[in-house]
Amino acid sequence: MNAHLIISAFVLGLSMSGVYFLLTVGLSLCYGLMRIISLDQFLYYSVGAYMTYTIVAVTGNFWLGLLAGILTTILIALFVEKIVYKRIYEKSVMFSMILSFGVNLMGVGLIKYIWGLEPKPVKAPIGGNLNIFGTEVPGYRIFVILLAALVYLAVCYFLNKTILGTAIRAGIDDAEKVEALGINIYKLFTLTFLLATSLSALAGAIHTPMVMVVPDMGMNIIAFAFMVVIIGGLGSIKGTLISSLLVGQVVSFGSLIWAPLADMAPFMIMIIILLIKPTGLYGSKYMKR
């Protein structure tokens, strides 16, 4: 194994981490505040990807596609939140899991109905290669890494420095007290859900040039997203970041060593971590029984 291979695998791993982080931070936030596990984030991921594909095919502009993907999913999410989630915020986590999986499944069926089954390619908006220590690395991957880092910083800023973010963090700690202060917690719920959704759509949109756009793309990434969420611990942004970095590298280097290892190694790591800490690395204290 030479240095070129290691550097390119490292960069690939980092860019995958970026996608995983964008996808799972929404799941984590939703769990933290609303105590729901919103599996329909994977639908928004696919919709973001498909909208990007469609707009790129029509206008040729990737950034327009990215924006359209995010806006479309926000509209869908508003609808889903109003129809489905409003009714189940009070109920147990299990309820939201089954229901949101149903939403996800229905969405996959609709996507198959609208766009058909065949894989769709999307060209990367940033061509060219970057030279890192003598290794040529696709510039788009660097862009994905930078974007994910930027989103992490932005989310941290939003949660820690703004009034709304502070209210959300307070809601994560004690939702009843926040309501007692006169803040409409359901508005916070909607806001958090939309934030999570737009991040998922962003993940789908920026993932398109790296994979084929297929109806089952949400289902294909579901296992990795779950592993990231479980390793990091539900409800923790920092944990999600660290575990997505870990899983990205493990997948990338695993596939370098032996192809099936790419899928199995993260699972092994997850099992080991759960053996040591059943709530994941940074699991919230409410997860403990």
Partner 1 sequence: MKRLFNNNLSKILIIFTILYLLKYVLPQSFMLEVIILSIYTMGCSFLIGRVGFVSFGQPAYLAIGAYGTAFYLYYFGTNPFVAILVGILLGLIINIITGAFFIRLNSSYYTLCNQAFCVVNFFIFQKALVKYTHGDNGLWFLSRIDPTPVIDLSRTEGVFIFAFLVAVGVWLLFNYLMNHSVFGATCLCVKCNEEKLRFLGYNVFNIKWLAFIIANTITSLAGALYSLYFGFVSAGITAPSKAIEPVAISMLGGAGTLFGPLVGSFIFIGLKDIASQVISYWELLVGLMLIIVMLAGEKGIVGSLEGFLSKLINKHGNNEGLQATNIEGEVGSE
Interface contacts to partner 1, rule CB under 8 A: 31, 37, 84, 87-88, 93-95, 97-99, 101-110, 112-113, 216, 219, 222-223, 226-227, 229-230, 234, 259-260, 263-264, 267, 270-271, 274-275, 278-280, 287, 289
Q: Which is nearer to partner 1, 152 or 224 (CB)?
A: 224
Distance CA 160, CA 166 (A): 6
Three-state SS at 120:
strand
Q: Least CB distance from residue 220 to partner 1, whole Å? A: 8
Three-state SS at 129:
strand
24, 224 Cβ separation under 8 angstroms: no
Q: Least CB distance from residue 74 to partner 1, whole Å? A: 20
Closest to 15 measured CA to CA, from 280, 249, 222: 249
Half-sphere exposure of 63 (CA within 13 A, CB side): 1
Q: Least CB distance from residue 96 to partner 1, whole Å? A: 9
Residue 247 is inside which H or E element, if any?
A: helix 237-257
Q: Least CB distance from residue 250 to partner 1, whole Å? A: 13
The separation between CA 117 and the C-alpha centre of its own chain, rounded to angstroms, equals 23
Q: Which is nearer to partner 1, 9 or 234 (CB)?
A: 234
Distance CA 75, CA 29 (A): 19
Which token pair is 154? 């932005």
Q: Which is nearer to partner 1, 30 or 183 (CB)?
A: 30
Q: Least CB distance from residue 146 to partner 1, whole Å? A: 29
Half-sphere exposure of 167 (CA within 13 A, CB side): 17
Q: Which is nearer to partner 1, 210 or 287 (CB)?
A: 287
Q: Which is nearer to partner 1, 208 or 279 (CB)?
A: 279
Q: Least CB distance from residue 196 to partner 1, whole Å? A: 16
Q: Which is nearer to partner 1, 65 or 204 (CB)?
A: 204
